Structure 1
Amino acid sequence: MIGSPARRYAALAVICLAELLVVLDNTIVNVALPSIGVDLRTNVSGLQWVVDAYTLTFAGLLLMCGYLGDRYGRRRIMAVGLAGVAVMSVAGANAESLGQVIAARAAMGVFAAAVFPATLALIINIFTDRRERSLAIAAWTAMAGFAIAIGPMTGGWLLEHFSWHSVFWINVPVAVVAIVAVAVLVPESKAATVGRLDPVGIALSITGIPVLVWAIIEAPRYGWTSPATLVAMGVGAAALAGFIRWELHTAAPLLDMRLFRNRRFSLPALAIAVGYFSMFGFLFLITQYFQGVREYTPLEFGIASLPFAVSVAVGAPVATLLAQRIGTTAVITFGLLLTGVGLYLGGLVDVDSNYLTDVLPSMVSMALGLAIVQGPATESIMSSLPLDEAGAGSAVNDTTREIGGTLGVAVLGSIVASYYVSTVSPVIDRVPVSFMNDDEKSFAKATVLSVLEIRKREIPALLEPQREQLITAMKTTVLHGSHTASLVATGAVVVCAVIVALFLPWAPDRENSVLFGWRGGDPANPDPTDEHAPAELP
């Protein structure tokens, strides 16, 4: 193990701080979108790209950045990423147009991709004792879920006291502190041996993944069967197919594709993707519920969703330790099923549902289920890797999260939007122009969050009943769409639970190969497809 326990856990705290910055920045901007839209006079589509520009570059460059960290030093790549996030946050805070905000967010995603894979890869290299490593991974997992959940509360508090620029400014001091702490407390690590650089693999990965993510993001707007969506998906799939073929035949691959033959690597990655599909979709739906249906302010929304964050923080370490006793498969399967229960309960919520008896159980069940899946699944993935490939393996873990989360928002959001637009549009079209102009009608058709603006508008008392009827119709409609979306998400996690239960080995994993850089099989002739052979002793 590296250094004293105090030194290792100090390094873990710094790594989690860097992780918090990246993950929080991926969610905190959401609550500032209405303020950005008003100040910069933009439409809903433009605001969506403030979020999606970050997601696109972040997901697309994770694999490359993890690979570069393995080659040139994970701490070094992380420090570069932290510095870049700080600089681009200053650019975003000083932006004077929507285009500048989107450009800053895209650049922040590039540098965040340099930070995120390094966090988990560094943990694997610092903590080589299995129990300590499991606890460290649990802390990492809990921080990721916690950061996602507290984003709305943090953003809400900032907007209560400052302008939307504050969601960018807050990154700067955190990044500066993290850079200094990383330099002082985090040891450098990189692959002991590396082959030649794989420029073809890099080019194919940064083509295929971003194009595929773009297709997923834009599919709800253009249509899932539109030419633009189908062409983009075809190009992305072709690039990724070429990537897989190249990686299987090149002598020094960016990612050893044979790892996916190991069920302890591939099936937990699937569980993480489906878990984030459900979580990001759930957060999308719950945002509309709290701010559109219950009409909470951003800060009230953040406080109401805090139990979600607490449940993730509590569940992750407990599940990771439990997996060591009863096996990863049992824990992941239970977590997926518990996630499904939370999703199903969330779909039953209506306009008059009580927060404590109806909404809270759904959130807690969903969050605990996700936490139970994430910790053991991440530990299983990283334990299947040799130390030299920790960065690339971490990037696979992170990429599955991002693609799963992007799909969750796109698919579940499409279901809700399709039902909402088709049902609400005729009602809104009948509203007199004296009450709502064309721009206001367009916004109301796009999202139930427009309820807040409709409620603020001063109107004659005579029209008050009609306004209440319109608001009730909008709320009821979005909840009907959310019910269907919740059933789809529930089905996805249940199917995944069945797959994991059937094909992931139930016996607890033996002493971890990552301790000695072993991949399995005969120690004299390593074979990554053999999952059960004993690890080679030093």
Structure 2
Amino acid sequence: MNTDSTRRWLALGALAVAMLTIGLDMTVLTVALPTLAVDLNANNGALQWFSTSYTLALAAVMLPAGALGDRYGRKKILLAALVLFGVASLACAFAATAGQLIAARVVLGVAAAAMMPLSLAVLPVLFASPVERARATNIWITSTALGLPLGPILGGWLIDNFWWGSVFLINVPMVVLGAVAVAGLVPESRNPDLRPLDLPGTVLSVVGMLGVTYGFIRLGDEGWGNGLGWGALIAGAIVLMLFLGWQRRTAFPLIDLGLFASRGFRWGAVFAVLITFGLFGLFFTVPQYYQAVLGTDALGSGLRLLPMIGGLLVGSRLGDRLLPKLGARLMVAAGLVALALGLGLGALTSIGTEYWFTAVWIGLVGAGMGLGLPVSMAVAMDDLEVARAGMGSALLQALRQAAGTIAVALLGTVLATVYRSELGDLNVDPINDSVNSGVAVAKSTGEAGMLEHVQSAFVSGMGAMLWVCAAISAVAVALALWVLPRRSAAVGADEAVPAVFADVDAPESTHVG
């Protein structure tokens, strides 16, 4: 390594800035959804796609993007991804229709999918010392984690003071700074053990996920009797089965299905996916509840999400201390209990509920994730051979991103179905498009009864969705007590805390070779 100490840490700073933008983009849009519903005339289906398109592209492209970096050079692909991220951010900011915004968000997700694994893959090149590498990795993870709480707060302030496109413009100077620093400070690296790219597998995985997700969203938008929705859902499921079959036959698969033969990896992945479900459902509905029912502005919605972040931090710290004493099985089960309790309390919310009650239950949800998610991730990774840790971590991240995509689609369908059912005679355009449209119509007419009816219908839909999440968490408690090991000795205190932010986390050794 020819770079001196100053250059190495400056390079890390550049990577941290770039990762902060991804963390911001994970949550910054949550407070903008109500505004987008009105300004872009977006219905529930479009609102779901604003979030889903980004996470779908992120999950689908992460593995092939890492393979491209291995083959053609990580610095080269990382620089291209940074430039693409900046261009896509500009396209998002100035989108004039819902379709344009969705398309730009897809490109944004593709760029982020390359930035995440490749930025982490260059750390071993920059830092040869295990101690320095551990410190650098913690800084990298912290930078991505900071974006989660900052996203809703910064996004809310920007929307209140400027226009919704400003939440994307903040990405541009950050990625420019990151690109300049990466170009000048980060050395090129690639994997000398070249593997052919699995192009058929990549295409099948992307097409299959698109079909399944579009099917769920179409059914939520048009109703369960919609033929196109069912057709897309079934076609997507068939393509995903073809993808799995291809992965078993090809000599150089996109994913190693043999990883699931490992008991720890299999069940750790299952619980990481289940816990992810609640996070995406909460982020999709709670900001809309704050603005449409409680009447807060965008910044107020962001600030009111802080109890969840506080719960995450408290839960992760408790998990750090209790894991050596209680072991993996009880820790994951405890996290799921807190998750189920919080979501169940949330399902009892009504239009007259005070904010303190909401703060309590979203704090419980955050604590449940903080307790259970790091241990689930550690259980999955601890059971893998060192040689397979990179691919296993990449696969685990892709699974969680895919789970988030399906969660938004499926839970959004539950919410929309109940909302329209509860509207009764008000189930007409544009009221049935979304609660934000319904509230706007009610306020324009000045009819207090209509406003209360629309808000009550939305809260009923939110409650049904949260009951689904709570039930899944409750069933998972018994499953965790049955299948997980008592202890996971390899999990250290320093590893457990950062992993709570694995929503924006990349594999710890992906594609280093």
TM-score by length of 1: 0.79
Tell me the secondary structure at the aligned position of residue 255 of structure 2: coil
Q: Which residue of 2 aligns with 1:469?
A: 449
For 2:359, the equivalent position in structure 1 comes to 360
Query: What residue number does 2:158 align with?
Result: 158
CA drift of 1:424 comes to 1.2
Count of residue correspondences: 492
CA distance 1:361–1:215, change in 2 (3 Å): same
Q: 1:501 aligns with which of 460, 481, 488?
A: 481
Counterparts of 2:11 and 2:382 in 1: how far apart (Å)? 20
Q: Is the 8 A contact 2:204 2:242 kept in 1?
A: yes
**Any idea what the Cα deviations from partners look like across 1:149-178, whole Å, max 9, x if unmatched?**
543322211111212221221110111223
1:267-286 map, 5 Å: 267-286=267-286
Say if 1:122 and 1:7 are closer, same or farther in 2 by CA, change over 3 A.
Answer: same
1:516 is matched with which residue? none
Aligned to 1:442: 429
SS class of match (1:327): helix
| Alignment CA distance shift 1:488-1:160 (3 Å) | same
Residue pair 1:93, 1:168 contacting (<8 A) in 2 also: yes
Shift of 1:314: 4.8
Unaligned 5+ runs, structure 1: 430-440, 513-538
What's the counterpart of residue 368 of structure 2? 369
What amino acid maps onto 2:399 in structure 1? T
How far off is 1:421 after superposition?
0.9
Is 1:83–2:89 an aligned residue pair?
no
Asked if the contact 1:316–1:375 (Cα under 8 Å) also holds between the matched residues in 2, the reply is yes
Relative distance call for 1:178 and 1:388 in structure 2 (3 A) is: farther
Distance 1:219 1:92, change over 3 A: same
Letter matched to residue 169 of structure 1: L
Report what 1:479 is aligned to: 459
TM-score for the superposition, normalised by structure 2: 0.82
For structure 2, the 5+ residue unaligned runs are: 493-513
Matched AA of 1:27: T
Measured in 1, the distance between the counterparts of 2:248 and 2:100 equals 40
1:295 and 2:295 are equivalent in the alignment: yes
1:229 aligned residue: 229
In 2, the alpha carbon distance for the partners of 1:42 and 1:282 equals 20
Residues 177, 325 of structure 1: alpha-carbon distance in 2 compared, 3 angstrom cutoff:
farther
Aligned-pair distance for 1:45? Answer: 4.5
Q: Is 1:308 the counterpart of 2:283 in the alignment?
A: no
1:199-348 to 2 correspondences below 5 Å: 199-224=199-224, 226-316=226-316, 319=319, 322-323=322-323, 326-348=326-348
User: Which of 449, 470, 483 is residue 490 of structure 1 equivalent to?
Assistant: 470
Q: In the alignment, which residue of structure 2 is the partner of 1:401?
A: 400
Distance 1:266 1:149, change over 3 A: farther
Q: Which amino acid in 2 is paired with 1:500? A: A
The one-letter amino acid paired with 2:270 is L
Cα distance in 1 between the residues matched to 2:331 and 2:60: 30
Contact 2:382–2:488 (CA under 8 A) maintained in structure 1: no
AA of the residue aligned to 1:55: T
Amino acid at match of 1:415: V
Report the 3-state secondary structure (helix = DSSP H, G, I; strand = E; otherwise coil) of the residue aligned with 2:431: helix
Amino acid at match of 2:101: V
> Is contact 1:346–1:363 with CA below 8 Å preserved after alignment?
yes
1:105 to partner: Cα distance: 1.9
Report the Cα distance in structure 2 between the residues aligned to 1:37 and 1:178, rounded to whole angstroms: 32
Q: CA deviation at 1:510?
A: 4.6
**Helix, strand or coil: the match of 1:295?**
coil
Partner SS, residue 109 of structure 1: helix
- Shift of the 345–118 alpha-carbon distance from structure 1 to 2, 3 Å rule, reads farther
- Partner in structure 1 of residue 107 of structure 2: 107
Q: Which amino acid aligns with 2:115?
A: V
Residues 10 and 292 (structure 1), Cα distance of their counterparts in 2 relative to 1, 3 Å cut: same
For structure 1, which segment, 471-480 or 6-15, has the greater mean C-alpha deviation from structure 2 after superposition? 6-15
- Partner of residue 521, structure 1: none
Q: State the alpha-carbon separation in 1 of the partners of residues 449 and 235 from structure 2.
A: 46
Deviation at 1:328, TM superposition (A): 3.1
Distance 1:408 1:283, change over 3 A: same
Aligned to 1:410: 409
Q: Distance in 2 between matches of 1:316 and 1:284?
A: 23
Closer, same or farther: CA 18–332 of 1 in aligned 2, 3 Å: farther
Larger RCO (alpha carbons 8 Å, 6+ apart): 2
Say if 1:124 and 1:448 are closer, same or farther in 2 by CA, change over 3 A: farther
RMSD of equivalent CA atoms: 3.7
Quote how far apart the aligned CAs of 1:279 are: 1.0
Compute the displacement of 1:42 (Å).
5.8
- How far apart in 2 are the matches of 1:141 and 1:311? 18
Equivalent residues of 1:89, 1:171 under 8 A apart: yes
Give the letter aligned to residue 294 of structure 1.
L
**1:94–1:165 contact (8 Å) kept in structure 2:** yes
Q: Which residue of 2 aligns with 1:419?
A: 418
1:124–1:382: 8 Å Cα contact kept in structure 2?
no
Cα distance, 1:188 vs structure 2: 6.0
Secondary structure of 2:486's aligned partner:
coil
Partner of 2:408: helix, strand, or coil? helix
CA–CA separation in structure 1 for the residues paired with 2:6 and 2:263 = 35
Contact 1:295 1:451 in 2 (8 A): no
8 Å Cα contact 2:31/2:301 also seen in 1 = no
What is the SS of the residue equivalent to 1:353? coil
Letter in 2 for 1:166: S
For structure 1, which segment, 9-18 or 107-116, has the greater mean C-alpha deviation from structure 2 after superposition? 9-18
- 8 Å contact 1:219–1:229 — kept in the other structure? yes
- Kindly state the Cα deviation for residue 142 of structure 1 after the two structures are TM-superposed: 6.6
Give the match for residue 196 of structure 1: 196
What amino acid does structure 2 have at the position aligned with 1:170?
I
> Equivalent residue of 2:430, what SS?
helix
**What is the deviation of 1:343?**
0.7
Per-residue deviation, 1:410: 2.5
Residue 244 and residue 41 in structure 1: after superposition, are their counterparts in 2 closer, same or farther (change >3 A)?
closer
Look up the match of 2:377: 378
Distance in 2 between residues matched to 1:8 and 1:506, nearest whole Å: 41
Counterpart of 2:505 in structure 1 is none
CA distance in 2, matches of 1:210, 1:453: 32
Checking the alignment, whether the CA contact within 8 Å between 2:48 and 2:217 is kept in structure 1 is no
Instruction: Give the distance between the partners of 1:325 and 1:120, measured in 2 at CA.
Output: 32
- For the 8 Å contact 1:277–1:406, the answer to whether it is kept is no
Relative distance call for 1:300 and 1:214 in structure 2 (3 A) is same
Where does residue 508 of structure 2 map in the other structure? none
Q: In the superposition, relative to structure 1, how do residues 248 and 424 fare at CA in structure 2: closer, same or farther (>3 Å)?
A: same
How far the C-alpha of 1:72 sits from its partner, in A, is 4.1
Shift of 1:388: 6.1
